[in-house]
C-alpha cells in the first residue's frame, strides 16, 4: 500500500506527528513495535524543569543551545501542538488544566513534589500550593494495589511542611480476590456500585478527619476519569485528586487513547507489533521501510517518514556488543557522547545525569537526520521526540514537551 | 535448547516489568484465575526447568490471543512462552480427553461432513445431547459449534473440475499463473462457500487454483499443548506443499490461523528449522495479504461492482500474529460503495478451542462482550471476520450472521 507518510513509533511524538499529517488529509500509517512510553509516564505534560515559567525558560534555552530539540522545533510548534493535544483530550472528556507559562508541582507516589506544566483536571486539587493552604489532606489507597503506600506519601509530604494523613480503604466486594493492577482498579472505578462503596468510606474518613481533599492513586477510571472524580468528590464531601502510580500509568493510557482516537477519526491507520528492521532508499531519499512479520518481512512505501522511536530509554537507540550505539529502525548515524567509558556518571543517581541520555540523532531545523559530516542523510525523513540528540529529556524535565514540539513540527513540515 | 528456545529465553531479559502486557491482556481483565502475561510469561519462565515440575497451572488460562506480544514495548515473546509452557504441562500429565477431541478438527470434520450432516447438526443442536457432552466431556453446552456441510469443499472442487473438463475437453485453460489453495478443515467440512469464493476471486485474477493434497495445519493441537501430534501434521503438510513451493507456486489460505501455523506457529513452537519448513513458511500467504501484494504490483483485477454496504469487521487474533496490518481493509477499500467499520476489541473470546471448554466458556464470552456490543450496535445483519472460529463466536454472541471477507470480495467481482 502506498502512504503519504509513515510514522514509526506510537509514543507521544509519533502520535502527534501522525495526527498532524492525517489532519492535513494525508494517508498516514502509524507503525510501531508496541505501546510507547505514554504507558510508563505520569500522564502529565512536563515542559521544562526550570523555574516558574517554562515557556520563558525554553526561550532562553533555545538561545543558549541552538541544537537543543526545542530550539530546532521552535515555540510555535510547541504551542500549537499543546493546543491540539488539549483539544483531543477535551474531546475525550478528559480536559487538561494549566498553562505553558507556569509550572506547578504535584505529589508523586513517593510523596515528593515534582514540577510539571499541563495536568489532567483529575489531578488539579493535589497541586502543591493548594496542599499548603493549612487544611488537612488525606492520602488513601488500597493494600491490594502494589507500589502505592499512603503512609509513605503522607509522611514525605509532612516532611515538606504539608498537613497530610494516610488511610487504607477496604476493598468493596468484587469478583476478584487477587491480581489488582492499576488498569483493573481503573475499570472497577467505572462501576457505580464500586464507587458508592468507596465514596461511603471516604465520607466517613472526611467527616472524622475534617479533610479538605483526598489524594488517591491515579486509577480512577480509564475512559471516564473526569466523571469518576466528580462523582467521588460528591460522595466524599471533599475534593479528590489523583497521584500518578508506577507503570502501567492509567493517565498515560488516557493520553494515548485520546490521541489514538483522534488519529483514527482523521482516517489514520495503526499497525502495532511491527518492528522496523531497516529502510531502503537512494540519493538521500528513503523509499521503503521493512518491518518484521511472520515468515517474511513486510515492505511499506511512503513519500515521507517520521522516526519517533525514542532514545535509549524508549528503545530507539541500542548499544551493540562492541559499544557502538545504533539507531534501531533505519540505522541512522547516532551522535553519542564519546565511547562507553564516557556514557555514565560515576554515581547512579548523579545530579548531572548520565551523558548517554543525551545521545541521539543529530537533525537540522527541518528535523532531518544528519550524518557525521553534517549532511542531510534523508531529505524525506523527520526525527521527532527523544530520538533527537542534544537533550536529556527526563533529567531536564522536558520529555513530553520535546515530544509534542518536535512531533507537531514533523507534522507541519 | 534449540535456537527458537534460545531466542525465547533471551527475550525474557528484555522484560522491563512495565506491566503493559498485563494491562492489555483481555483474559486478565475479566478473571483473576489468570494472573496475566507478565507473571505467567517472563516471570514464571525463570522457574520452568527441564526435568522439574511446572510451577503453576494458571498459564493454561492464556488464550493465545497475542495481544501481549503486540503491545509489549520491548518485544518479549510472551504468547510463545505460554504456549510452550502449556506443552510442558501436557507432556508431563497428558492431554485431557476433551482437549484431545476438540483439537482433532479434521477428524471431527470428516466424521460430521457428508450426506448425514443434517443428522449430526440436529444432534448437536439438541439440548439434552449438548448437556451430556458438557457433563461428560467438558465442552460447554452453549459454546458455538459449527454446522457440518452436506458436501465437502474438495468434493465440490472435484465435481467442478470434471464438469469444466467435460465442457471443454482437450483445451485446458492456460492461465499464466498458479496458486495452491490451502482451505483448512473449516472450509472443507463446514463452510465450503468460503473456498468457493476464494477460488472465484483467484480465478478472476487470472490464477489457476490447484487443490494440493493437504491436512489439518495442527493449530488446535498446538494450542492444546499436544506438540508431538501437531508436529506430525506439520511435517506432512510440508511434504505435500513443498513440491509446489519449490516451483515458485504460492500457497494461499483463507483461514488466518492455518496460514499463521504454516508460516510461523508450527515452526516456532515446535522448533522446526529445516530448509524445507522455512521454504513452505515463506511461500504461504493469507489470501488478502496475497491480494494486497498483487495490488502493490498493480496486478490486482479491480473491476468491482459497487457494493453499497457498511459492515462491521473484526480483525482476528491470528491476523495480529501475522504482523501484516489490515490487508482486508486495504483491499476492500477498493470496492466502490463498501465501507468497513473496524472493531477495536482485541479478541472475540473463542481463541480457537479455548471458549468451547466448560471452565473457559464464560471467560470467552466476557472477553468478547465488547466486540458483541460493537457488532450489535452497528445495526448490520452481517459481520465480517477472517477466522472461522471467531465468526462462529461472533454469531453466537450476537445473533448476527458472519462471513469471511473473501465472500464479499467475490460478490464485488459479480
Ligand atoms: S509488556 Fe513486555 S516488558 Fe512490559 S512487563 Fe510485559 S513482557 Fe515485560
Ligand atoms: S496471549 Fe492473550 S490471553 Fe495469553 S497472556 Fe497474551 S494477551 Fe493474555
pLDDT band at B140 (very low <50, low <70, confident <90, very high): confident
**DSSP per-residue codes, A282-307:** ETTEEEEEEEE-SSSEEEEEEEEEEE
pLDDT band at A196 (very low <50, low <70, confident <90, very high): very high
Closest ligand relative to B27 C-alpha = 2
Region A146-151: mean pLDDT is 94
CB contact under 8 A, A273 and B70: yes
The answer to whether residue A396 scores a pLDDT higher than 90 is: yes
Kindly state the helix (H) or strand (E) to which residue A30 belongs, with its residue range: strand A28-31
Rounded-to-integer distance, Cα A404 and Cα A408, Å: 6
pLDDT band at A101 (very low <50, low <70, confident <90, very high): very high
Give the DSSP letter of residue B178.
E
pLDDT for B169 equals: 62
The answer to whether residue B175 scores a pLDDT higher than 60 is: no
The answer to whether residue A314 scores a pLDDT higher than 70 is: yes
pLDDT band at B4 (very low <50, low <70, confident <90, very high): low
CB contact under 8 A, A272 and B70: yes
CATH architecture observed for domain B301-413: 3-Layer(aba) Sandwich (3.40)
**pTM for the model:** 0.93
Rounded-to-integer distance, Cα A186 and Cα B380, Å: 32
What residues does each domain of chain B span? 3-93, 301-413
Cell of A394: 527526563
Pocket mutation for ligand 2, best pick of B79, B360, B366 (most atoms within 8 Å of C-beta): B79
How many CB pairs below 8 Å do chains A and B form together? Answer: 104
Mean pLDDT of the residues in chain B: 88
Cell of A342: 564516557
Three-state DSSP class for residue A323:
coil
pLDDT for B174 equals: 53
Could you tell me which residue, A301 or B358, shows the higher pLDDT? A301
pLDDT band at A1 (very low <50, low <70, confident <90, very high): confident
The answer to whether residue B161 scores a pLDDT higher than 80 is: yes
pLDDT for B217 equals: 93
pLDDT for B124 equals: 65
Region B231-256: mean pLDDT is 97
pLDDT band at B210 (very low <50, low <70, confident <90, very high): very high
pLDDT for A351 equals: 82
Rounded-to-integer distance, Cα B337 and Cα B348, Å: 27
pLDDT for B94 equals: 80
**Nearest residue in chain A measured CA to CA from B321:** A294
What does residue A298 show for φ and ψ, rounded to 5 degrees?
A: -110, 135
CATH of A109-243, one of 3.20.20.10, 1.10.3720.10, 3.30.70.260, 3.40.50.1860: 3.40.50.1860
Q: What's the CATH fold of domain B3-93?
A: Fumarate Reductase Iron-sulfur Protein; Chain B, domain 2 (1.10.1060)
pLDDT for B2 equals: 62
Q: What's the CATH fold of domain A2-95+253-412?
A: FAD/NAD(P)-binding domain (3.50.50)
Closest ligand relative to B65 C-alpha = 2
Q: What percent of chain A has pLDDT over 90?
A: 85
Q: How far is B43 from chain A (nearest CA, A)?
A: 15
Region A212-218: mean pLDDT is 98
Q: Which atom of ligand 2 is nearest to the CA of B79?
A: 1
Which residue's CA is minimally distant from atom 7 of ligand 2?
A: B25
- Give CA torsion, residues B373, B376, B377, B382, to 10 deg: 130
pLDDT for A30 equals: 97
Ligand 1 contact, B394 CB (< 6 A): no
Residue A410 burial (C-beta neighbours within 10 Å; 0-12, 13-18, 19+): buried
Judged by average pLDDT, the poorest of A8-12, B79-83, B260-264 is B79-83
What residues does each domain of chain A span? 2-95+253-412, 109-243
pLDDT 10s digits, B326-377: 999 999 999 999 999 999 888 988 888 888 888 888 999 999 999 999 999 9
The answer to whether residue B287 scores a pLDDT higher than 60 is: yes
The answer to whether residue A209 scores a pLDDT higher than 90 is: yes
Question: How close is the Cα of B97 to the center of ligand 2, in Å?
Answer: 24
pLDDT for A337 equals: 83
pLDDT band at B123 (very low <50, low <70, confident <90, very high): low
Judged by average pLDDT, the poorest of A395-399, B170-174, B299-303 is B170-174
Judged by average pLDDT, the poorest of A87-96, A318-327, B250-259 is A318-327
Region B208-223: mean pLDDT is 93
Ligand 1 contact, B78 CB (< 6 A): yes
Amino acid at each position: 500500500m502506498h502512504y503519504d507518510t509513515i510514522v514509526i513509533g506510537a509514543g507521544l511524538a509519533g502520535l502527534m506527528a501522525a495526527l498532524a499529517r492525517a489532519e492535513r488529509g494525508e494517508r498516514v500509517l502509524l507503525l510501531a513495535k508496541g505501546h510507547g512510553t505514554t504507558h510508563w509516564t505520569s500522564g502529565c505534560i512536563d515542559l521544562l524543569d526550570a523555574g516558574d515559567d517554562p515557556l520563558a525558560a525554553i526561550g532562553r534555552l533555545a538561545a543558549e543551545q541552538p541544537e537543543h530539540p526545542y530550539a530546532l522545533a521552535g515555540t510555535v510548534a510547541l504551542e500549537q501542538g499543546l493546543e491540539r493535544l488539549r483539544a483531543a483530550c477535551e474531546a475525550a472528556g478528559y480536559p487538561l488544566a494549566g498553562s505553558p507559562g507556569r509550572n506547578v508541582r504535584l505529589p508523586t507516589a513517593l510523596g515528593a513534589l515534582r514540577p510539571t506544566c499541563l495536568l489532567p483536571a483529575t489531578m488539579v486539587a493535589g497541586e502543591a500550593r493548594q496542599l499548603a493552604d493549612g487544611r488537612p489532606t488525606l492520602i488513601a489507597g488500597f493494600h491490594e494495589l502494589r507500589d502505592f503506600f499512603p503512609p509513605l506519601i503522607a509522611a514525605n509530604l509532612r516532611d515538606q511542611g504539608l498537613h497530610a494523613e494516610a488511610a487504607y480503604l477496604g476493598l468493596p466486594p468484587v469478583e476478584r480476590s487477587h491480581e489488582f493492577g492499576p488498569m483493573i482498579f481503573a475499570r472497577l472505578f467505572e462501576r457505580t456500585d464500586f464507587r458508592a462503596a468507596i465514596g461511603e468510606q471516604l465520607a466517613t474518613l472526611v467527616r472524622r478527619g475534617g479533610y479538605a481533599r483526598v489524594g488517591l492513586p491515579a486509577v480512577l477510571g480509564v475512559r471516564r476519569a473526569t466523571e469518576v472524580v466528580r462523582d467521588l468528590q460528591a460522595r466524599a464531601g471533599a475534593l479528590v485528586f489523583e497521584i500518578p502510580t508506577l507503570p502501567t500509568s492509567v493517565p498515560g493510557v488516557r493520553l494515548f487513547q485520546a490521541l489514538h482516537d483522534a488519529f483514527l477519526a482523521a482516517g489514520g491507520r495503526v499497525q502495532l507489533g511491527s518492528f522496523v528492521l531497516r529502510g531502503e532508499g537512494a540519493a538521500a531519499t528513503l523509499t521503503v521501510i521493512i518491518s518484521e512479520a511472520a515468515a517474511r518481512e513486510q515492505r511499506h512505501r511512503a513519500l515521507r517518514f517520521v522516526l519517533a522511536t525514542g532514545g535509549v530509554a524508549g528503545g530507539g537507540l541500542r548499544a551493540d556488543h562492541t559499544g557502538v550505539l545504533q539507531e534501531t529502525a533505519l540505522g541512522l548515524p547516532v551522535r553519542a557522547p564519546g565511547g562507553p567509558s564516557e556514557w555514565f556518571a560515576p554515581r547512579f543517581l548523579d545530579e548531572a545525569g548520565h551523558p548517554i541520555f543525551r545521545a541521539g540523532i543529530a537533525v537540522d531545523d527541518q528535523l532531518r537526520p544528519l550524518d557525521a559530516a553534517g549532511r542531510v542523510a534523508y531529505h524525506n525523513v523527520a526525527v521527532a521526540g527523544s530520538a533527537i540528540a542534544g537533550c536529556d529529556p527526563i533529567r531536564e524535565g522536558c520529555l513530553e514537551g520535546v515530544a509534542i514540539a518536535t512531533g507537531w513540527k514533523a507534522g507541519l513540515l | 535448547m534449540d535456537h527458537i528456545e534460545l531466542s525465547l529465553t533471551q527475550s525474557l531479559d528484555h522484560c522491563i516489568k512495565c506491566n503493559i502486557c498485563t494491562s492489555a491482556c483481555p483474559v486478565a481483565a475479566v478473571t483473576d484465575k489468570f494472573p496475566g502475561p507478565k507473571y505467567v510469561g517472563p516471570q514464571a519462565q525463570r522457574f520452568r526447568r527441564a526435568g522439574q515440575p511446572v510451577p503453576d497451572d494458571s498459564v493454561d488460562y492464556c488464550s493465545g490471543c497475542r495481544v501481549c506480544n503486540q503491545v509489549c514495548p520491548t518485544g518479549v515473546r510472551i504468547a510463545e512462552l505460554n504456549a510452550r509452557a502449556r506443552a510442558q504441562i501436557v507432556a508431563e500429565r497428558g492431554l485431557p480427553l476433551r482437549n484431545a477431541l476438540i483439537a482433532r478438527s479434521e477428524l471431527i470434520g470428516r466424521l460430521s461432513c457428508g450426506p448425514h450432516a443434517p443428522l449430526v447438526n440436529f444432534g448437536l443442536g439438541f439440548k439434552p445431547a449438548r448437556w451430556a457432552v458438557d457433563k461428560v466431556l467438558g465442552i460447554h453446552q452453549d459454546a458455538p459449534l459449527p454446522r457440518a456441510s452436506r458436501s465437502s469443499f474438495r468434493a465440490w472442487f472435484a465435481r467442478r473440475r470434471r464438469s469444466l473438463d467435460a465442457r471443454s475437453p482437450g483445451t485446458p485453460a492456460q492461465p499464466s499463473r498458479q496458486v495452491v489453495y490451502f482451505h483448512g478443515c473449516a472450509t472443507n467440512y463446514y463452510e465450503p462457500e468460503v473456498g468457493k469464493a476464494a477460488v472465484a476471486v483467484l480465478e478472476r485474477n487470472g490464477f489457476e487454483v490447484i487443490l494440493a493434497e493437504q491436512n489439518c495445519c495442527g493449530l488446535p493441537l498446538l494450542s492444546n499443548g499436544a506438540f508431538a501430534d501437531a508436529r506430525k501434521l506439520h511435517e506432512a503438510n510440508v511434504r505435500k506443499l513443498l513440491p509446489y513451493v519449490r516451483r515458485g507456486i504460492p500457497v494461499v489460505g483463507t483461514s488466518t490461523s492455518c496460514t499463521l501455523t504454516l508460516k510461523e506457529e508450527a515452526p516456532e513452537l515446535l522448533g522446526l528449522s529445516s530448509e524445507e519448513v522455512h521454504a513452505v513458511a515463506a511461500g504461504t500467504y493469507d489470501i488478502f495479504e496475497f491480494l494486497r501484494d498483487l495490488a502493490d504490483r498493480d496486478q490486482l483485477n479491480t473491476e468491482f461492482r459497487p457494493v453499497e454496504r457498511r459492515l462491521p469487521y473484526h480483525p482476528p487474533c491470528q491476523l495480529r500474529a501475522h504482523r501484516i496490518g489490515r490487508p482486508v481493509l486495504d483491499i476492500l477499500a477498493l470496492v466502490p460503495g463498501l465501507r468497513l467499520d473496524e472493531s477495536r476489541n482485541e479478541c472475540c473470546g473463542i481463541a480457537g478451542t479455548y471458549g468451547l471448554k466448560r471452565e473457559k466458556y464464560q471467560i470467552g464470552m466476557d472477553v468478547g462482550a465488547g466486540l458483541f456490543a460493537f457488532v450489535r450496535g452497528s445495526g448490520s445483519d452481517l459481520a465480517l471476520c477472517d477466522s472461522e472460529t471467531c465468526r462462529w463466536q461472533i454469531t453466537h454472541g450476537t445473533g448476527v450472521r458472519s462471513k469471511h471477507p473473501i465472500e464479499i470480495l467475490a460478490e464485488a467481482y459479480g
